[in-house]
Protein backbone atom coordinates (compact mmCIF):
# COMPACT_ATOMS: atom_id res chain seq x y z
CA UNK A 1 0.00 0.00 0.00
CA UNK A 2 2.90 2.33 0.82
CA UNK A 3 4.44 1.59 -2.56
CA UNK A 4 1.20 2.54 -4.30
CA UNK A 5 1.03 5.85 -2.43
CA UNK A 6 4.61 6.63 -3.46
CA UNK A 7 3.73 5.79 -7.06
CA UNK A 8 0.67 8.06 -6.97
CA UNK A 9 2.71 10.97 -5.53
CA UNK A 10 5.38 10.34 -8.18
CA UNK A 11 2.83 10.51 -10.97
CA UNK A 12 1.17 13.69 -9.72
CA UNK A 13 4.53 15.42 -9.19
CA UNK A 14 5.75 14.49 -12.67
CA UNK A 15 2.52 15.69 -14.25
CA UNK A 16 2.90 19.10 -12.57
CA UNK A 17 6.46 19.40 -13.83
CA UNK A 18 5.38 18.34 -17.31
CA UNK A 19 2.65 20.96 -17.46
CA UNK A 20 5.11 23.70 -16.45
CA UNK A 21 7.61 22.55 -19.06
CA UNK A 22 4.96 22.52 -21.76
CA UNK A 23 3.63 25.91 -20.76
CA UNK A 24 7.15 27.37 -21.10
CA UNK A 25 7.54 25.94 -24.59
CA UNK A 26 9.64 22.91 -23.69
CA UNK A 27 7.68 20.90 -26.29
CA UNK A 28 6.07 22.94 -29.07
CA UNK A 29 3.64 21.40 -31.54
CA UNK A 30 3.86 22.49 -35.10
CA UNK A 31 0.21 23.57 -35.12
CA UNK A 32 0.59 25.92 -38.09
CA UNK A 33 1.83 23.05 -40.25
CA UNK A 34 -1.07 20.84 -39.14
CA UNK A 35 -3.66 23.50 -39.88
CA UNK A 36 -2.14 24.10 -43.30
CA UNK A 37 -2.35 20.41 -44.24
CA UNK A 38 -5.84 20.14 -42.79
CA UNK A 39 -7.06 23.03 -44.97
CA UNK A 40 -5.54 21.64 -48.18
CA UNK A 41 -7.33 18.27 -48.06
CA UNK A 42 -10.91 17.13 -47.50
CA UNK A 43 -12.15 15.35 -44.39
CA UNK A 44 -12.65 11.59 -44.64
CA UNK A 45 -16.28 12.12 -43.56
CA UNK A 46 -16.89 13.81 -46.96
CA UNK A 47 -15.23 11.07 -49.00
CA UNK A 48 -17.24 9.07 -51.54
CA UNK A 49 -16.89 5.29 -51.21
CA UNK A 50 -18.18 4.35 -54.66
CA UNK A 51 -15.93 2.97 -57.37
CA UNK A 52 -12.87 2.34 -55.17
CA UNK A 53 -12.78 -1.47 -55.42
CA UNK A 54 -9.63 -1.45 -57.58
CA UNK A 55 -7.84 1.36 -55.74
CA UNK A 56 -4.90 1.15 -53.32
CA UNK A 57 -5.00 2.90 -49.95
CA UNK A 58 -2.09 3.86 -47.68
CA UNK A 59 -2.50 5.01 -44.08
CA UNK A 60 -1.03 4.87 -40.60
CA UNK A 61 -2.65 2.64 -38.00
CA UNK A 62 -1.95 4.60 -34.82
CA UNK A 63 -3.57 8.01 -34.91
CA UNK A 64 -5.47 7.40 -38.15
CA UNK A 65 -7.37 4.11 -38.09
CA UNK A 66 -6.99 3.93 -34.32
CA UNK A 67 -8.78 6.78 -32.60
CA UNK A 68 -7.02 6.77 -29.22
CA UNK A 69 -4.53 9.65 -28.83
CA UNK A 70 -1.99 7.52 -26.93
CA UNK A 71 -0.52 4.07 -27.55
CA UNK A 72 0.21 3.56 -23.85
CA UNK A 73 -2.96 1.45 -23.16
CA UNK A 74 -2.03 -1.18 -25.77
CA UNK A 75 1.48 -1.62 -24.41
CA UNK A 76 0.02 -1.81 -20.92
CA UNK A 77 -2.28 -4.62 -22.10
CA UNK A 78 0.76 -6.58 -23.32
CA UNK A 79 2.67 -5.86 -20.09
CA UNK A 80 -0.29 -6.80 -17.86
CA UNK A 81 -1.73 -9.77 -19.75
CA UNK A 82 1.42 -11.19 -21.31
CA UNK A 83 3.96 -10.12 -18.70
CA UNK A 84 3.29 -9.60 -15.00
CA UNK A 85 1.94 -7.14 -12.47
CA UNK A 86 5.50 -5.97 -11.76
CA UNK A 87 6.13 -5.17 -15.44
CA UNK A 88 2.79 -3.35 -15.68
CA UNK A 89 3.58 -1.39 -12.50
CA UNK A 90 6.97 -0.32 -13.87
CA UNK A 91 5.33 0.88 -17.09
CA UNK A 92 2.81 2.84 -15.02
CA UNK A 93 5.63 4.57 -13.11
CA UNK A 94 7.14 5.70 -16.41
CA UNK A 95 3.88 7.13 -17.79
CA UNK A 96 4.60 10.73 -16.59
CA UNK A 97 7.97 10.63 -18.36
CA UNK A 98 6.30 9.39 -21.55
CA UNK A 99 3.78 12.23 -21.34
CA UNK A 100 6.58 14.78 -20.88
CA UNK A 101 8.32 13.51 -24.02
CA UNK A 102 5.19 14.40 -25.97
CA UNK A 103 5.91 14.59 -29.71
CA UNK A 104 9.26 12.81 -29.48
CA UNK A 105 7.54 9.73 -30.83
CA UNK A 106 10.61 7.64 -31.57
CA UNK A 107 12.08 8.04 -28.08
CA UNK A 108 8.70 7.38 -26.49
CA UNK A 109 8.20 4.28 -28.61
CA UNK A 110 11.60 2.86 -27.72
CA UNK A 111 10.92 3.31 -23.99
CA UNK A 112 7.49 1.69 -24.30
CA UNK A 113 8.89 -1.24 -26.26
CA UNK A 114 11.85 -1.85 -23.95
CA UNK A 115 9.82 -1.88 -20.73
CA UNK A 116 7.02 -3.94 -22.26
CA UNK A 117 9.04 -6.54 -24.17
CA UNK A 118 12.46 -6.94 -22.54
CA UNK A 119 12.59 -10.61 -21.48
CA UNK A 120 9.03 -11.35 -22.61
CA UNK A 121 8.44 -14.69 -24.32
CA UNK A 122 7.38 -14.55 -27.98
CA UNK A 123 4.48 -16.95 -27.36
CA UNK A 124 3.01 -14.57 -24.78
CA UNK A 125 2.90 -11.71 -27.30
CA UNK A 126 1.35 -14.04 -29.86
CA UNK A 127 -1.38 -14.96 -27.38
CA UNK A 128 -2.13 -11.36 -26.39
CA UNK A 129 -2.15 -10.07 -29.96
CA UNK A 130 -4.56 -12.82 -31.01
CA UNK A 131 -6.92 -12.99 -28.02
CA UNK A 132 -6.72 -9.69 -26.10
CA UNK A 133 -5.82 -6.72 -28.28
CA UNK A 134 -8.49 -7.12 -31.03
CA UNK A 135 -11.30 -6.18 -28.62
CA UNK A 136 -9.66 -2.89 -27.67
CA UNK A 137 -8.61 -2.11 -31.24
CA UNK A 138 -12.18 -2.61 -32.49
CA UNK A 139 -13.67 -0.41 -29.77
CA UNK A 140 -11.38 2.48 -30.73
CA UNK A 141 -11.42 2.38 -34.54
CA UNK A 142 -12.33 5.49 -36.51
CA UNK A 143 -15.62 4.73 -38.27
CA UNK A 144 -15.23 6.74 -41.50
CA UNK A 145 -11.57 5.82 -41.92
CA UNK A 146 -12.41 2.11 -41.69
CA UNK A 147 -15.30 2.47 -44.13
CA UNK A 148 -12.96 4.02 -46.71
CA UNK A 149 -10.38 1.31 -46.01
CA UNK A 150 -12.98 -1.42 -46.58
CA UNK A 151 -14.07 0.18 -49.87
CA UNK A 152 -10.62 -0.13 -51.46
CA UNK A 153 -8.98 -3.15 -53.01
CA UNK A 154 -5.35 -3.18 -51.84
CA UNK A 155 -4.65 -1.80 -48.36
CA UNK A 156 -1.21 -0.87 -47.03
CA UNK A 157 -0.99 0.15 -43.37
CA UNK A 158 2.06 1.60 -41.64
CA UNK A 159 2.60 1.79 -37.90
CA UNK A 160 5.18 2.92 -35.39
CA UNK A 161 4.16 0.04 -33.13
CA UNK A 162 5.85 -3.37 -33.34
CA UNK A 163 4.45 -5.17 -36.36
CA UNK A 164 3.63 -8.29 -34.31
CA UNK A 165 1.24 -6.27 -32.13
CA UNK A 166 -1.02 -5.25 -35.01
CA UNK A 167 -0.43 -7.47 -38.06
CA UNK A 168 -2.78 -10.29 -37.06
CA UNK A 169 -5.62 -7.90 -36.27
CA UNK A 170 -5.18 -5.82 -39.42
CA UNK A 171 -5.16 -8.82 -41.73
CA UNK A 172 -7.94 -10.80 -40.03
CA UNK A 173 -10.40 -8.00 -39.19
CA UNK A 174 -9.62 -5.28 -41.75
CA UNK A 175 -8.31 -7.33 -44.69
CA UNK A 176 -5.05 -5.38 -44.94
CA UNK A 177 -2.65 -6.58 -47.64
CA UNK A 178 0.66 -5.19 -46.35
CA UNK A 179 1.65 -4.16 -42.82
CA UNK A 180 4.82 -2.12 -42.29
CA UNK A 181 5.95 -1.68 -38.71
CA UNK A 182 8.85 -1.88 -36.29
CA UNK A 183 10.53 -5.25 -35.94
CA UNK A 184 11.19 -6.68 -32.48
CA UNK A 185 14.58 -8.29 -31.93
CA UNK A 186 14.59 -11.82 -30.53
CA UNK A 187 17.29 -13.70 -28.64
CA UNK A 188 17.55 -17.49 -28.23
CA UNK A 189 14.56 -17.84 -30.52
CA UNK A 190 11.89 -17.21 -27.87
CA UNK A 191 12.71 -14.04 -25.87
CA UNK A 192 12.41 -10.40 -26.90
CA UNK A 193 15.36 -8.15 -26.16
CA UNK A 194 13.23 -5.02 -25.90
CA UNK A 195 14.98 -3.42 -28.89
CA UNK A 196 13.34 -2.55 -32.22
CA UNK A 197 14.39 -1.66 -35.73
CA UNK A 198 12.54 -0.01 -38.60
CA UNK A 199 10.54 2.41 -36.45
CA UNK A 200 11.93 5.61 -37.97
CA UNK A 201 10.27 7.76 -40.61
CA UNK A 202 13.06 6.94 -43.06
CA UNK A 203 12.31 3.23 -42.64
CA UNK A 204 8.64 3.86 -43.45
CA UNK A 205 9.51 5.83 -46.57
CA UNK A 206 11.87 3.08 -47.72
CA UNK A 207 9.15 0.47 -47.20
CA UNK A 208 6.68 2.51 -49.26
CA UNK A 209 9.23 2.86 -52.05
CA UNK A 210 9.87 -0.89 -52.02
CA UNK A 211 6.11 -1.60 -52.26
CA UNK A 212 5.12 0.94 -54.91
CA UNK A 213 8.42 1.73 -56.68
CA UNK A 214 7.88 4.72 -58.98
CA UNK A 215 4.10 4.29 -58.97
CA UNK A 216 1.71 6.00 -56.57
CA UNK A 217 -1.08 4.73 -54.36
CA UNK A 218 -4.57 6.00 -55.14
CA UNK A 219 -5.63 7.19 -51.67
CA UNK A 220 -3.84 8.32 -48.53
CA UNK A 221 -5.42 8.71 -45.10
CA UNK A 222 -3.59 11.11 -42.79
CA UNK A 223 -4.20 12.28 -39.25
CA UNK A 224 -4.74 15.93 -38.40
CA UNK A 225 -2.42 15.55 -35.40
CA UNK A 226 0.44 13.45 -36.77
CA UNK A 227 3.17 15.21 -38.72
CA UNK A 228 4.78 11.95 -39.80
CA UNK A 229 1.68 11.02 -41.82
CA UNK A 230 1.99 14.13 -43.95
CA UNK A 231 5.45 13.20 -45.17
CA UNK A 232 4.24 10.30 -47.32
CA UNK A 233 1.44 12.23 -49.03
CA UNK A 234 3.73 12.47 -52.06
CA UNK A 235 3.30 8.73 -52.59
CA UNK A 236 -0.46 9.05 -53.17
CA UNK A 237 -2.76 10.68 -55.73
CA UNK A 238 -5.60 11.65 -53.36
CA UNK A 239 -5.51 12.53 -49.66
CA UNK A 240 -8.15 12.66 -46.94
CA UNK A 241 -7.74 13.89 -43.37
CA UNK A 242 -8.96 11.96 -40.33
CA UNK A 243 -10.10 14.04 -37.35
CA UNK A 244 -10.84 12.76 -33.87
CA UNK A 245 -13.72 15.12 -33.18
CA UNK A 246 -17.19 14.91 -34.63
CA UNK A 247 -17.79 16.60 -37.94
CA UNK A 248 -19.58 19.97 -37.93
CA UNK A 249 -22.66 18.17 -39.25
CA UNK A 250 -22.68 16.00 -36.12
CA UNK A 251 -21.36 12.80 -37.74
CA UNK A 252 -19.91 10.53 -35.06
CA UNK A 253 -16.49 8.96 -35.64
CA UNK A 254 -16.95 6.19 -33.06
CA UNK A 255 -17.22 2.61 -34.30
CA UNK A 256 -20.48 0.99 -33.05
CA UNK A 257 -20.58 -2.77 -32.50
CA UNK A 258 -23.10 -3.19 -35.31
CA UNK A 259 -20.51 -1.87 -37.80
CA UNK A 260 -17.53 -3.93 -36.70
CA UNK A 261 -15.78 -5.25 -39.84
CA UNK A 262 -16.02 -8.70 -38.24
CA UNK A 263 -18.12 -9.73 -35.22
CA UNK A 264 -16.17 -10.01 -31.99
CA UNK A 265 -17.48 -13.16 -30.32
CA UNK A 266 -14.44 -14.33 -28.34
CA UNK A 267 -11.65 -12.54 -26.55
CA UNK A 268 -9.45 -13.25 -23.54
CA UNK A 269 -7.50 -11.41 -20.85
CA UNK A 270 -8.44 -10.18 -17.41
CA UNK A 271 -8.72 -6.41 -17.91
CA UNK A 272 -12.21 -5.21 -18.82
CA UNK A 273 -11.23 -1.54 -19.20
CA UNK A 274 -8.85 0.30 -21.51
CA UNK A 275 -5.75 0.72 -19.28
CA UNK A 276 -4.95 4.40 -19.70
CA UNK A 277 -2.47 5.74 -17.10
CA UNK A 278 -5.27 7.01 -14.85
CA UNK A 279 -7.30 3.79 -15.19
CA UNK A 280 -4.23 1.64 -14.50
CA UNK A 281 -3.39 3.70 -11.42
CA UNK A 282 -6.97 3.15 -10.20
CA UNK A 283 -6.58 -0.61 -10.70
CA UNK A 284 -3.37 -0.80 -8.67
CA UNK A 285 -4.81 1.37 -5.90
CA UNK A 286 -7.96 -0.78 -5.77
CA UNK A 287 -6.20 -4.18 -5.59
CA UNK A 288 -5.11 -3.98 -1.90
CA UNK A 289 -8.76 -3.35 -1.00
CA UNK A 290 -10.19 -5.78 -3.54
CA UNK A 291 -8.27 -8.91 -2.46
CA UNK A 292 -9.60 -9.12 1.13
CA UNK A 293 -13.01 -7.98 -0.12
CA UNK A 294 -13.10 -10.82 -2.66
CA UNK A 295 -12.16 -13.36 0.02
CA UNK A 296 -14.98 -12.09 2.24
CA UNK A 297 -17.47 -12.18 -0.64
CA UNK A 298 -16.62 -15.81 -1.41
CA UNK A 299 -16.74 -16.81 2.27
CA UNK A 300 -20.11 -15.08 2.56
CA UNK A 301 -21.57 -17.32 -0.15
CA UNK A 302 -20.33 -20.44 1.62
CA UNK A 303 -21.25 -19.60 5.22
CA UNK A 304 -24.50 -17.63 5.19
CA UNK A 305 -27.97 -18.76 4.04
CA UNK A 306 -29.03 -17.66 0.58
CA UNK A 307 -31.48 -15.02 1.81
CA UNK A 308 -28.83 -13.43 4.04
CA UNK A 309 -26.30 -13.63 1.23
CA UNK A 310 -28.42 -11.32 -0.93
CA UNK A 311 -28.67 -8.71 1.81
CA UNK A 312 -24.99 -8.77 2.72
CA UNK A 313 -24.02 -8.83 -0.96
CA UNK A 314 -25.93 -5.61 -1.56
CA UNK A 315 -24.02 -3.95 1.29
CA UNK A 316 -20.60 -4.92 -0.09
CA UNK A 317 -21.22 -4.02 -3.73
CA UNK A 318 -22.62 -7.19 -5.37
CA UNK A 319 -25.76 -6.38 -7.31
CA UNK A 320 -28.34 -9.10 -7.96
CA UNK A 321 -31.33 -8.67 -10.26
CA UNK A 322 -33.74 -11.60 -10.24
CA UNK A 323 -36.91 -11.91 -12.31
CA UNK A 324 -39.43 -14.56 -13.30
CA UNK A 325 -41.23 -17.33 -11.42
CA UNK A 326 -39.30 -19.37 -8.84
CA UNK A 327 -40.10 -22.81 -10.22
CA UNK A 328 -39.89 -25.64 -7.71
CA UNK A 329 -39.44 -29.35 -8.11
CA UNK A 330 -42.27 -31.02 -9.99
CA UNK A 331 -43.40 -34.62 -10.26
CA UNK A 332 -45.58 -34.00 -13.31
CA UNK A 333 -43.56 -36.27 -15.53
CA UNK A 334 -45.03 -39.67 -16.21
CA UNK A 335 -41.65 -41.35 -16.31
CA UNK A 336 -40.35 -43.01 -13.15
CA UNK A 337 -37.03 -41.19 -13.24
CA UNK A 338 -37.58 -37.76 -14.81
CA UNK A 339 -39.03 -36.08 -11.76
CA UNK A 340 -36.73 -33.07 -11.37
CA UNK A 341 -36.78 -29.74 -13.14
CA UNK A 342 -33.87 -29.13 -15.49
CA UNK A 343 -32.74 -25.51 -15.38
CA UNK A 344 -31.10 -24.64 -18.72
CA UNK A 345 -28.84 -21.63 -18.11
CA UNK A 346 -26.78 -19.35 -20.28
CA UNK A 347 -23.11 -19.53 -19.31
CA UNK A 348 -21.34 -16.29 -18.39
CA UNK A 349 -18.99 -17.30 -15.52
CA UNK A 350 -18.28 -20.31 -13.30
CA UNK A 351 -20.53 -18.68 -10.69
CA UNK A 352 -23.69 -19.23 -12.76
CA UNK A 353 -24.90 -22.28 -10.74
CA UNK A 354 -24.20 -20.45 -7.45
CA UNK A 355 -26.16 -17.39 -8.57
CA UNK A 356 -29.03 -19.63 -9.66
CA UNK A 357 -29.16 -21.15 -6.16
CA UNK A 358 -29.26 -17.66 -4.66
CA UNK A 359 -32.08 -16.68 -7.04
CA UNK A 360 -34.10 -19.81 -6.14
CA UNK A 361 -33.18 -19.56 -2.42
CA UNK A 362 -32.28 -23.26 -2.34
CA UNK A 363 -29.41 -25.49 -3.49
CA UNK A 364 -29.65 -26.98 -6.98
CA UNK A 365 -26.97 -29.47 -8.11
CA UNK A 366 -25.09 -28.53 -11.27
CA UNK A 367 -23.20 -30.44 -13.95
CA UNK A 368 -20.21 -28.90 -15.69
CA UNK A 369 -17.50 -29.93 -18.14
CA UNK A 370 -14.47 -28.21 -16.64
CA UNK A 371 -14.31 -27.33 -12.98
CA UNK A 372 -11.14 -26.70 -11.02
CA UNK A 373 -10.64 -28.45 -7.71
CA UNK A 374 -10.71 -25.06 -5.94
CA UNK A 375 -14.08 -24.14 -7.47
CA UNK A 376 -15.44 -27.57 -6.61
CA UNK A 377 -14.43 -27.16 -2.94
CA UNK A 378 -15.83 -23.64 -2.66
CA UNK A 379 -19.16 -24.38 -4.37
CA UNK A 380 -22.02 -24.23 -1.82
CA UNK A 381 -24.00 -26.87 -3.73
CA UNK A 382 -23.27 -30.28 -5.26
CA UNK A 383 -21.28 -30.19 -8.50
CA UNK A 384 -20.72 -33.12 -10.85
CA UNK A 385 -18.18 -33.24 -13.65
CA UNK A 386 -19.16 -34.43 -17.10
CA UNK A 387 -16.75 -36.49 -19.21
CA UNK A 388 -17.74 -35.51 -22.79
CA UNK A 389 -18.67 -39.16 -23.29
CA UNK A 390 -22.28 -38.77 -24.41
CA UNK A 391 -23.54 -42.08 -22.98
CA UNK A 392 -21.85 -41.66 -19.61
CA UNK A 393 -22.95 -38.04 -19.32
CA UNK A 394 -26.54 -38.93 -20.20
CA UNK A 395 -26.57 -41.63 -17.51
CA UNK A 396 -25.14 -39.19 -14.95
CA UNK A 397 -27.67 -36.46 -15.69
CA UNK A 398 -30.56 -38.94 -15.76
CA UNK A 399 -29.59 -40.22 -12.32
CA UNK A 400 -29.31 -36.69 -10.91
CA UNK A 401 -32.73 -35.76 -12.32
CA UNK A 402 -34.20 -38.77 -10.53
CA UNK A 403 -32.96 -37.25 -7.26
CA UNK A 404 -34.38 -33.78 -7.91
CA UNK A 405 -33.69 -30.57 -9.79
CA UNK A 406 -30.56 -30.01 -11.85
CA UNK A 407 -28.80 -27.04 -13.49
CA UNK A 408 -26.90 -27.29 -16.78
CA UNK A 409 -25.19 -24.84 -19.13
CA UNK A 410 -25.51 -26.46 -22.58
CA UNK A 411 -23.09 -23.99 -24.22
CA UNK A 412 -20.27 -25.90 -22.54
CA UNK A 413 -18.14 -22.79 -22.03
CA UNK A 414 -18.48 -19.11 -21.20
CA UNK A 415 -18.87 -16.22 -23.61
CA UNK A 416 -18.30 -12.58 -22.59
CA UNK A 417 -19.92 -10.82 -25.52
CA UNK A 418 -23.68 -10.60 -26.27
CA UNK A 419 -23.75 -13.92 -28.12
CA UNK A 420 -24.95 -17.40 -27.23
CA UNK A 421 -22.92 -20.39 -28.38
CA UNK A 422 -24.52 -23.50 -29.86
CA UNK A 423 -26.52 -25.51 -27.31
CA UNK A 424 -25.75 -29.19 -26.89
CA UNK A 425 -28.94 -31.19 -27.45
CA UNK A 426 -28.16 -33.74 -24.74
CA UNK A 427 -30.30 -31.99 -22.12
CA UNK A 428 -33.33 -32.03 -24.42
CA UNK A 429 -33.14 -35.82 -24.71
CA UNK A 430 -33.24 -36.34 -20.95
CA UNK A 431 -35.83 -33.98 -19.50
CA UNK A 432 -39.44 -33.01 -20.03
CA UNK A 433 -39.58 -30.39 -17.27
CA UNK A 434 -37.30 -27.73 -18.73
CA UNK A 435 -37.01 -24.18 -17.37
CA UNK A 436 -34.81 -21.74 -19.36
CA UNK A 437 -32.79 -19.29 -17.24
CA UNK A 438 -31.34 -16.16 -18.85
CA UNK A 439 -28.22 -15.16 -16.92
CA UNK A 440 -25.83 -12.29 -17.54
CA UNK A 441 -22.82 -10.89 -15.69
CA UNK A 442 -21.41 -7.38 -16.02
CA UNK A 443 -18.06 -6.16 -14.73
CA UNK A 444 -16.18 -2.89 -14.85
CA UNK A 445 -12.57 -3.77 -14.10
CA UNK A 446 -11.75 -7.49 -14.37
CA UNK A 447 -13.19 -10.39 -16.36
CA UNK A 448 -13.98 -13.46 -14.28
CA UNK A 449 -13.32 -15.90 -17.13
CA UNK A 450 -10.25 -16.99 -19.06
CA UNK A 451 -9.35 -19.45 -21.79
CA UNK A 452 -5.57 -19.46 -21.39
CA UNK A 453 -4.97 -18.32 -17.80
CA UNK A 454 -5.52 -19.84 -14.38
CA UNK A 455 -9.17 -20.94 -14.44
CA UNK A 456 -9.23 -21.73 -10.72
CA UNK A 457 -8.89 -17.99 -10.11
CA UNK A 458 -12.00 -17.11 -12.15
CA UNK A 459 -14.45 -16.73 -9.22
CA UNK A 460 -11.86 -14.76 -7.21
CA UNK A 461 -11.13 -12.40 -10.11
CA UNK A 462 -14.84 -11.80 -10.67
CA UNK A 463 -15.22 -10.84 -7.01
CA UNK A 464 -12.33 -8.37 -7.32
CA UNK A 465 -14.59 -6.00 -9.25
CA UNK A 466 -15.84 -2.97 -7.30
CA UNK A 467 -19.48 -3.41 -8.36
CA UNK A 468 -20.11 -6.75 -10.11
CA UNK A 469 -23.64 -7.21 -11.45
CA UNK A 470 -25.50 -10.48 -12.00
CA UNK A 471 -28.93 -10.66 -13.60
CA UNK A 472 -31.11 -13.78 -13.52
CA UNK A 473 -34.36 -14.05 -15.45
CA UNK A 474 -36.17 -17.35 -14.87
CA UNK A 475 -38.45 -17.88 -17.86
CA UNK A 476 -41.66 -19.87 -18.08
CA UNK A 477 -41.39 -23.64 -18.18
CA UNK A 478 -41.24 -25.11 -21.68
CA UNK A 479 -44.61 -26.73 -22.49
CA UNK A 480 -44.31 -30.55 -22.55
CA UNK A 481 -45.69 -30.65 -26.09
CA UNK A 482 -42.71 -28.51 -27.19
CA UNK A 483 -40.14 -31.00 -25.87
CA UNK A 484 -38.98 -34.39 -27.09
CA UNK A 485 -41.94 -35.89 -25.23
CA UNK A 486 -44.16 -33.99 -27.65
CA UNK A 487 -42.42 -35.46 -30.71
CA UNK A 488 -39.81 -32.75 -31.31
CA UNK A 489 -36.24 -33.55 -32.27
CA UNK A 490 -33.69 -32.84 -29.50
CA UNK A 491 -31.71 -30.47 -31.75
CA UNK A 492 -34.85 -28.46 -32.54
CA UNK A 493 -35.70 -28.16 -28.84
CA UNK A 494 -32.15 -27.00 -28.03
CA UNK A 495 -32.16 -24.43 -30.87
CA UNK A 496 -35.55 -23.06 -29.88
CA UNK A 497 -34.50 -22.63 -26.23
CA UNK A 498 -31.26 -20.98 -27.35
CA UNK A 499 -33.30 -18.49 -29.41
CA UNK A 500 -35.69 -17.88 -26.51
CA UNK A 501 -32.84 -17.10 -24.13
CA UNK A 502 -31.08 -14.91 -26.69
CA UNK A 503 -34.25 -12.85 -27.17
CA UNK A 504 -34.67 -12.47 -23.41
CA UNK A 505 -31.12 -11.11 -23.06
CA UNK A 506 -30.96 -9.15 -26.30
CA UNK A 507 -28.16 -11.42 -27.54
CA UNK A 508 -27.49 -13.11 -30.88
CA UNK A 509 -27.37 -16.85 -31.51
CA UNK A 510 -24.26 -18.40 -33.06
CA UNK A 511 -23.18 -21.86 -34.16
CA UNK A 512 -19.83 -21.57 -32.39
CA UNK A 513 -18.87 -24.31 -29.92
CA UNK A 514 -16.45 -24.73 -27.04
CA UNK A 515 -13.89 -26.16 -29.45
CA UNK A 516 -14.13 -23.07 -31.68
CA UNK A 517 -13.55 -20.76 -28.72
CA UNK A 518 -10.41 -22.50 -27.52
CA UNK A 519 -8.98 -22.90 -31.01
CA UNK A 520 -9.38 -19.14 -31.57
CA UNK A 521 -8.13 -17.96 -28.17
CA UNK A 522 -5.69 -20.61 -26.95
CA UNK A 523 -4.79 -22.64 -30.04
CA UNK A 524 -6.10 -25.90 -28.53
CA UNK A 525 -9.39 -27.74 -28.19
CA UNK A 526 -9.90 -26.79 -24.55
CA UNK A 527 -9.51 -30.33 -23.27
CA UNK A 528 -7.03 -31.08 -20.51
CA UNK A 529 -5.06 -34.24 -21.10
CA UNK A 530 -5.57 -37.14 -18.70
CA UNK A 531 -1.95 -36.87 -17.61
CA UNK A 532 -2.69 -33.36 -16.31
CA UNK A 533 -6.04 -34.30 -14.81
CA UNK A 534 -4.65 -37.16 -12.77
CA UNK A 535 -6.31 -40.57 -12.43
CA UNK A 536 -9.82 -40.83 -13.78
CA UNK A 537 -12.51 -40.66 -11.13
CA UNK A 538 -15.63 -42.74 -11.09
CA UNK A 539 -18.92 -40.86 -11.16
CA UNK A 540 -20.47 -40.43 -7.71
CA UNK A 541 -23.00 -43.02 -6.69
Q: Are the C-beta atoms of residues 434 and 510 closer than 8 Å to each other?
A: no
Residue 434, φ and ψ in degrees, nearest 5: -115, 130
Rg (CA), the chain: 27
Q: Are the C-beta atoms of residues 221 and 145 closer than 8 Å to each other?
A: yes
Q: Can you tell me the distance from the alpha carbon of 83 to that of 244, in angstroms, rounded to the nearest whole number?
A: 31
Query: What are the angstrom distances between the C-alpha of 411 and each of 408, 498, 499, 515, 517?
Result: 9, 9, 13, 11, 11
Q: What angle do CA 357, 360, 365 make, to 5 degrees?
A: 40
134 Cβ contact list (under 8 Å, min separation 6)? 169, 172, 173, 264, 267
Residue 134, φ and ψ in degrees, nearest 5: -55, -40
Q: Are the C-beta atoms of residues 59 and 65 closer than 8 Å to each other?
A: yes
Q: Express each pLDDT in 441-457 by its tens digit.
A: 999 999 999 998 888 89
Distance of CA 277 to the CA centre of its chain: 19
Residue 162's DSSP bridge partners are 182
Check residue 265 and give its pLDDT. 95
Check residue 229 and give its pLDDT. 63
Mark the ranges of the chain whose per-residue pLDDT is less than 70: 1-40, 103, 199, 224-232, 244-250, 326-339, 525-541
Q: Express each pLDDT in 71-85 by its tens digit.
A: 999 999 999 999 999
Check residue 252 and give its pLDDT. 81
471 Cβ contact list (under 8 Å, min separation 6)? 320, 321, 322, 323, 438, 439, 440, 441, 442
Q: Can you tell me the distance from the alpha carbon of 225 to that of 245, in angstroms, rounded to the nearest whole number?
A: 12
- Residue 517: count of CB within 10 angstroms of its CB: 22
Check residue 249 and give its pLDDT. 56
The DSSP-derived string for 264-281 is ------SB-S---HHHHH
Check residue 147 and give its pLDDT. 92
The torsion angle over the Cα atoms of residues 242, 243, 248 and 253, rounded to 10 degrees, is: 80
Check residue 524 and give its pLDDT. 72
Do strands 56-60 and 154-162 pair parallel, antiparallel, or not at all (unpaired)? parallel
Q: Can you tell me the distance from the alpha carbon of 478 to that of 495, in angstroms, rounded to the nearest whole number?
A: 13
What's the first-to-final CA gap in the chain, in angstroms? Answer: 49
Check residue 183 and give its pLDDT. 92
The torsion angle over the Cα atoms of residues 213, 219, 221 and 224, rounded to 10 degrees, is: 100
Say what the pTM is: 0.88
Check residue 456 and give its pLDDT. 87
Q: Can you tell me the distance from the alpha carbon of 123 to that of 191, in angstroms, rounded to the nearest whole number?
A: 9
Which residue from 338, 336, 316 is spatially nearest to 398, judged by alpha carbons? 338
Amino acid sequence: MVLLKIAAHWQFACCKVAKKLRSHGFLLRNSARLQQVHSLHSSVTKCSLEGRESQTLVCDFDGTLLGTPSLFPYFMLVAFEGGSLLRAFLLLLLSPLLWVLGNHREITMRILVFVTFCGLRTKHLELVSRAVLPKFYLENLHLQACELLSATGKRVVLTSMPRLMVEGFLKEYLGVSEVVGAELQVVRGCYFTGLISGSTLAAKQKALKDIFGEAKADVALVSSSNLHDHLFITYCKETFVVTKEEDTSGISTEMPRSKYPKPLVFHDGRLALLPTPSATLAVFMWLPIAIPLAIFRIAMGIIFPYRVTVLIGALIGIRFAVGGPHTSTSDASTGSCRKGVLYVCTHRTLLDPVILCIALQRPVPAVTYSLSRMSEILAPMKTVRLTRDRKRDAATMRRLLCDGDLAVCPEGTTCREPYLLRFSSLFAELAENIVPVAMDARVGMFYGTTASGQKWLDPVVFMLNPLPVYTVDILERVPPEMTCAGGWMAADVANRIQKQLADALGFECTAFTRRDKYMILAGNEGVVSKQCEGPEKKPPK
